[in-house]
Structures are given as C-alpha cells and as structure tokens.
Amino acid sequence: MHAMVLKKLRTDLVWSELPDRHPGPGEIRVHVAACGVCRTDLHVVDGELPDPQVPIIPGHEIVGRIDELGPDVTGLTVGERVGIPWLGHTCGVCPYCVRHRENLCDRPLFTGYTRDGGFATAVVADARFAFPLGDKGADVALAPLLCAGLIGWRSLRLAGEGPKLGLFGFGAAAHLITQVAKGQGRSVFAFTRPGDTATQNFARGLGAAWAGDSDTRPPEPLDAVIIFAPVGALVPLALRAVRKGGRVVCAGIHMSDLPGFPYALLWEERQLVSVANLTRQDGLDFLALAPRMGLVAQTTVYPLRQANQALADLRAGRFEGAAVLVP
Ligand SMILES: [Zn+2]
Ligand SMILES: [Zn+2]
C-alpha cells in the first residue's frame, strides 16, 4: 500500500510505500476511493492536539470498498462500500460509553490521529465504526459528509431549534450545514474572514439569508451561532450576535485562546458549549438524512500525492467547500 505519512510534526507528509496490512479480529480493510481533508488534519500536522503520535497517516473522511474481512466481523461483506469516520474505536465500558455518550469515551481511538487514516490507498478499521454507504452517490461527494457533515450535524443539534442560525467560518462543514438548516426552514447568517467577499457570495449562493464579515453584527439577533473556525477571538463576537438565552456552539477540536470579554456578553442566560467528536448514532442519523435533503458537497479534488498542497490550500482558504484526495 501507499500513503502520505506524517513522520514528524509540523513537516510535510511523505509519500511512502508500506507493507500491506491485514485486518485483525473485528477489523476490515478498506480500499480507499476518496478521503476528505479536514481542518483537524491541519491540527494533527501542526501538533495542536494532545499526545500527538507519529508516524501517523492522517485522514478521517474515508470512502472505500471493503477488500478483506478480519475474523469475527458480522454484517459487512467484501465489496461493500463503507465510510470510515473520525471516531475509530471506543472502549464500550466507561461511564460515557454506557450512557450513550461514546463521543466522550475515556479510551477512544481516532482515525487519522491515534490510528492510521485514509490519506492512503488502504486503511484497516474497526468494523463496528464503519458506516455502510450503499451505492448511491459518488465517492468524492460522500467523503466530506463523514466529518464536515457529521460534526456539523451534531453541532446543529446542539445549537437547538431556533430559526435564526449564525455560522462563523464558512468552510466544508458550514457549506453542508447551511443546506441542512435551509431544508429545516431556518435562516442562515454566514460570517467569514473580513473582506472575504468570494466566500460570502458562496454562502449566499447556497441560500444564506445574510453574509458578512465576522467583526460585523448580523441585521437581527440570532437564536444560535456555530463557530467552525478555529479562532478563539470569535467567541465574544458570536456571543454578541445571539439573543438573550441564545447559544454559541464551538464545533472545532482546537481553537486559539479565548480573549477576555465582559460578562455582559454571557449574561441573560446565553450559553457557550463545545462539541466533541461524534457518536455512531449521529452518523446513522445524518447519513440517512443527507440524501433525503439532497445535500450537495462542493469539492476540489487532489491526487493523494498532492495532500500537502490540499492542506496548504485549506490553510490559506484557497477553495470553497471541501478538499478531497483520490488515490
Ligand atoms: Zn468508553
Ligand atoms: Zn474532521
């Protein structure tokens, strides 16, 4: 197999030939057809997540077909198309796992962070965390659903049901969640880096009711805001944008430090929460909903060998929507 391997933190991934791997008990091997590029991959490369492990193969928005089953795998077959998400394994016995909050498991494994991911021609995964994808939809179009879509979906649920939703940071997740929120009859207010009129136009094109700079106020108070950008300085701006009792959801795994801000921004029962990871139920719910809503991922495709270029373009905001690697 071949892979783009992170050998040392804060360096380019290296194209590498590796011995073929075989699935152990309860595992499957998946021949990768497409793997999305997520901001979390940048945090992995940059060493911004706790206890980084190298060498590691990043990538956790994997679409491919099973080409080998390990012992004791039930319910999946060779040739079946599956998606492999960020949540790669949970212990099943910690207080979070047994209370249906496996996203907070005490002993998890995460694809592309603490177990090898999909910037590769093949990946070995825990079969219980693979989502059957069926045969509808293109591999490339499905890949961004597996994190941008899923984490966006969990964030949207945590944001509550208010009709006026703000999104700070309009990348892969926001462009999908705008479509979901519109489908639910909500109005979306999109905040981008100041002056990024291209992305503001992109947001309007997807149906956002309003789009503007992150340092401006929306035309009316919002019920909730989801912050997808990894920028702590956005938190007080988001709190300022929500009404009394409104909620701000921080959707990313990493953020720069939050600045101090007046308590008045939180006062009046505004809430500030974060979203961590996903549960398998989130995945099943969202992947069933996505085709019914006709979600369309806008993708920019890169050959697997150009993963470093894709990461650089993501960092610089050089494309709209999501980047996807194809082996
Ligand atoms: Zn657990
Ligand atoms: Zn991700």
Residue range 77-92, pLDDT digits in tens: 999 999 999 999 999 9
Which amino acid makes up residue 61?
E
115 DSSP assignment = B
Q: How far is the CA of 94 from the centre of ligand 1 (A)?
A: 4
Q: Which ligand is nearest to the CA of 107?
A: 1
The reported pLDDT for the residue numbered 241 is: 98
Residue range 109-127, pLDDT digits in tens: 999 999 999 999 999 999 9
Mention every residue, 6+ apart, whose C-beta is less than 8 A from residue 13.
Answer: 4, 5, 6, 45, 58, 119, 307, 308, 311
Average pLDDT of the segment spanning 7-12: 98
**CA pair distance 50, 85, nearest whole angstrom:** 19
The reported pLDDT for the residue numbered 163 is: 98
Give the model's confidence band at 324: pLDDT under 50 very low, under 70 low, under 90 confident, else very high: very high
Cis status, amide bond into 55, omega within 30 of 0: yes
- Residues in the chain, overall count: 327
Strands 271-274, 299-303: parallel, antiparallel or unpaired by DSSP? unpaired
Residue range 312-322, pLDDT digits in tens: 999 999 999 99
Q: Which ligand is nearest to the CA of 42?
A: 2
The reported pLDDT for the residue numbered 157 is: 97
Give the model's confidence band at 146: pLDDT under 50 very low, under 70 low, under 90 confident, else very high: very high
Q: How far is the CA of 184 from the centre of ligand 2 (A)?
A: 24
The reported pLDDT for the residue numbered 158 is: 97
Q: How far is the CA of 230 from the centre of ligand 1 (A)?
A: 26
Q: How far is the CA of 98 from the centre of ligand 1 (A)?
A: 7
Q: How far is the CA of 100 from the centre of ligand 1 (A)?
A: 10
Give the model's confidence band at 54: pLDDT under 50 very low, under 70 low, under 90 confident, else very high: very high
The reported pLDDT for the residue numbered 16 is: 98
- pTM for this predicted structure: 0.95
**CA pair distance 107, 278, nearest whole angstrom:** 14
The reported pLDDT for the residue numbered 237 is: 98
Instruction: Please spell the DSSP secondary structure of 213-259, one letter per residue.
Output: ETTS--SS-EEEEEE-SS-TTHHHHHHHHEEEEEEEEE-SS--PPPP
Q: How far is the CA of 43 from the centre of ligand 1 (A)?
A: 23
Ramachandran sector of residue 266 (left: φ over 0; alpha: ψ -120 to 50; beta: rest): alpha
**CA pair distance 90, 276, nearest whole angstrom:** 14
Q: How far is the CA of 252 from the centre of ligand 2 (A)?
A: 9
Q: How far is the CA of 262 from the centre of ligand 2 (A)?
A: 32
